[in-house]
Structure 1
Amino acid sequence: MQTEGALAAQNFSPPDSLAPFPFTAIVGQDDMKLAFVIAAIDPSVGGVLVFGDRGTGKSTAVRALARLLPPMRSVVGCAYNCDPAATAALCEGCKKRAAQGGLRTTLRAAPVVDLPLGATEDRVVGALDLERALTRGEKSFEPGLLAKANRGFLYIDEANLLEDHLVDLLLDVAASGENVVEREGLSVRHPARFVLIGSGNPEEGELRPQLLDRFGLAVDVKTPTDIPTRIEVVRRRDAFERDPARFAKAWSVEEHKLRRRIATGRERVGAVQAPDEALEKAAMLCVALGADGLRGELTLLRAARALASFEGVERVGDAQLRRVAPFALGHRLRRNPLDDIGSGTRVARGIEEIFGA
């Protein structure tokens, strides 16, 4: 029997402008697509970082992801997309409305918000509404990008080029799940829980370690080298650009199936069991690879549980741990400048050592 969330996702149709290219129509890049699906099923995984060559579908996949996200129930008129069921995390305005007689709610598409590289701090966190202050003499808060991204996805293209002060700001908000603004006599506090999605080209510089560690999963994407794959990529893109509506309709069944699977996976992910054997192997793998801290085990467990839920499996097993380990651990390994072996190869060897060939 389908859950209420799965039925809502089945009947909910986001605006066409949210997804210029169908997610399921993206050729190859299976690791990247799977990492996005895992993050959509369990946001607590901690977001996804995609590094790779230009023109490999990174931005296309992020924008297409919006159409697959189940609709969320939020408070009507709230600038922060407050969840009416999470009474403790409501903004001040919603708390007042709840005390005065209840909250009106509606279904909305989960937001996917772009954070431009040139964005100012005021644009990101919010600031004083100058127009209202000048015309009415009232101090009013104008929400920023963090407010719009609450309960959704915040996308940073070229994340490795983001200015340091914005990186520090994002780290603080990502850790607390709350945005606090105190300036020009204003003191505002509002929920800001979002899944961080980053992309970039490694040739243009590395990501700061503090921000890199905040991404739960990290995936490397490559330009396909085999001729049939390259031909199919060009064929689909050309068909889409010639007639977007017809192309979207041709992929609507596949999109519908994946959207329903994600919604169902979200509903049952909390019921997936993680036996002690799975926890032990996750810890053994992290120790064998020398992963820094304990965040690796937590991310590995959460990602494996989300994958199991997506696959309709009731318990986390070796298959799920093996599949998500490269995403969860590859960017957490200590670097040895004298060792030219990449992190992917090291993770593959560690998996073989712990789980067998």
Structure 2
Amino acid sequence: MKKYSQLIRHTGNNFLFDLIDISILGTLANTPIHFHAEGLRGTGKTTIIRAAKDILPKIKRIKGCIYNCDPSNPHCPEHRDLSNKDIEQLGTELIDMPFLEISPSAKKGTVVGSIDLKKISSREEPEAALLLGTIPRAHRGIIFVDEINRIADTSPELADILLDVMGTKPGRIQIEEVGLPTVVIPVQVSIWAASNPDEEPGPLEDIRRQLSDRFDFTVNVERPVDTAVLKMILDGNNEKYNDSYLIEEKKEKLLRAQAIIDDFSLSDEIKSILASMYVDFGLESLRSIEAIMLGAKIRGALLGKNPDIGEIIFLARLALRHRMDAKNLNELIKHLEQRRHQPEKKSEAAMKSNDCDLRKAVLQKNNDQKIGTNSGKLKNKFFSPLEKMMSILTNKFSSSAGGKNNRPISSDPKDMDIKAPSKKAISLKQLELKDYVKKEEELRR
């Protein structure tokens, strides 16, 4: 079997890797995350899921407890009534996070539990006791269910058991055997499932829709389409290749994320978007919104940032794929994308408005400059000769007046010397052209 370090991520299986990380961290944080991987045979669904066992961190339990009791929250009939002091005396131990499987041929007794025949037939101390099944032994761990569509079709009893386990978080399991009291145990286990919807009996949502809805996320796994990726997959088949450093680094990353998961939460804006999404698009199951919220918080811890609408879009595709038809899902995603780009559009509109105002101001300034330049040209063209003529006359008059007396020219009429013209004034009509049109040289005389 392939090791996790030998797996190659590509566009066809990338989302499955993401969901595995989310589910493992959710399990560590005492919040199971269930997902269902669908895809054609040979796409690597089962290989990836089973290889993920390599990156499961260790968990702490009460020493020797077959129910995997958490020392801070014991749940089994043997330890749930013990005090903290009693638990300290029993001691604790680290074990690998449980990873168990349920096959299509499994029976109810092996999944839930049955009478322990070894103890009841003991010659020394015969006693009626339970032999725990797969689900109670996987508490605080993972259960992988392959070909879940076949189980839903051929084993309705097992499907009902899974409904109880996945119905709430944590779930519950009830063990009933003749001659023994009924035992109800809370179980905290994440269900990972795989199936091929193109083979009999068909997609899970068409066989047992209620069971399909219990899965928080559904992902479609596709085959690689890049020859370079395929070559990497073939090269990775070498069993000698095993990078244990990458596996340990992955475990440490999950443990670091577990320590900070409570530091991340959804903003009121994101919650409002989810609420309007549920109401406006008429979503049938509230579990879809709860799955998105929970997944966003876990993704925040993995990525080290508070969830934004981009994470909501990513998770909505996986949480609603098995709950909505493709057309409505595409419309919902399109709506979220529009909400995502609204601030950018507003800022772009503001920038365009500012640019428009700036262009108007520049054009107005240029027009003013052109008008000023043109008016200056007109002024120079028509008024410069007149100004020159007036300047010459003023200078001539000033010099002639200054020659007779040295009094400065005054603007007061009383101080001015007034002389009558030497000749009688006549009309312009009586003058010839040469008498009133003078050249500049003639004026200087």
TM superposition score category, shorter chain reference: 0.7 to 0.9
Give, in whole Å, the separation in 2 of the partners of 1:131 and 1:111.
24
CA distance in 1, matches of 2:46, 2:298: 23
Given that 1:50 and 1:219 are in contact with CA atoms closer than 8 Å, whether structure 2 keeps it comes out as yes
Q: 1:159 deviation in Å?
A: 0.8
User: How many residues are matched?
Assistant: 322
Deviates more, 1:177-186 or 1:164-173: 177-186
Is residue 125 of structure 2 the alignment partner of residue 135 of structure 1?
Answer: no
* Contact in 1 for aligned 2:3/2:54 (Cα 8 Å): no
Distance 2:197 2:279 in 1: 27
Map of 1:24-173 to 2, 5 A cutoff?
Answer: 25-28=7-10, 29-43=13-27, 44=31, 46-87=33-74, 90-95=75-80, 98=83, 101-102=86-87, 103-136=90-123, 137-162=126-151, 163-173=155-165
| Contact kept? 1:21, 1:60, Cα under 8 Å | no
Query: What amino acid is the match of 1:327?
Result: L
Q: Could you say which structure has the greater relative contact order, defined with CA pairs below 8 angstroms and 6 or more residues apart?
A: 1
**Residue 23 of structure 1: how far off its partner (Å):** 5.0
User: After the TM superposition, which residues 1-357 of structure 1 pair with which residues of structure 2 at under 5 Å, given as runs?
Assistant: 20-22=2-4, 25-28=7-10, 29-43=13-27, 44=31, 46-87=33-74, 90-95=75-80, 98=83, 101-102=86-87, 103-136=90-123, 137-162=126-151, 163-175=155-167, 177-187=171-181, 188-204=183-199, 205-207=202-204, 208-237=208-237, 239-240=238-239, 243=240, 247-249=241-243, 252-313=244-305, 315-333=306-324, 335=325, 341=326, 345-356=330-341
Q: CA deviation at 1:287?
A: 3.8
Residues 188-240 of structure 1 show CA distances to partners (whole Å, capped at 9, x for unaligned) of: 23332100100010112121111111111110011122222222212212x23
The separation in 2 between residues aligned to 1:217 and 1:168, in whole angstroms, is 19
Change in 2 beyond 3 A, CA 1:212/1:154: same
Letter of the 1:201 counterpart: N
Indicate the larger mover: 109-118 or 222-231.
222-231
User: What amino acid is aligned across from residue 286 of structure 2 in structure 1?
Assistant: L
Q: Greater shift after overlay, 255-264 or 137-146?
A: 255-264
Q: Which residue of 2 aligns with 1:15?
A: none
SS at match of 1:135: coil
Runs of 4+ aligned residues of structure 1 deviating over 6 Å after TM superposition are none
- Please identify the structure whose Cα radius of gyration is greater: 2
Identity of aligned residues (%): 26
1:347 Cα offset (Å)? 4.9
TM (norm. structure 1) is 0.83
Q: Residues 289 and 24 from structure 1, CA distance in 2 versus in 1: closer, same or farther, beyond 3 angstroms?
A: farther
TM-score by length of 2: 0.68
Per mean C-alpha deviation after superposition, the further-off stretch among 154-163 and 165-174 is 165-174
Which one-letter code corresponds to 1:227 in the other structure? T
Quick check: 346-355 or 295-304, which moved more?
A: 346-355
Asked if the contact 2:161–2:173 (Cα under 8 Å) also holds between the matched residues in 1, the reply is no
The runs of 5 or more residues in structure 2 that have no matched partner are 343-445
SS of the equivalent of 1:101 reads helix
- Letter of the structure 2 residue corresponding to residue 184 of structure 1: V
User: 1:45–1:303: 8 Å Cα contact kept in structure 2?
Assistant: no
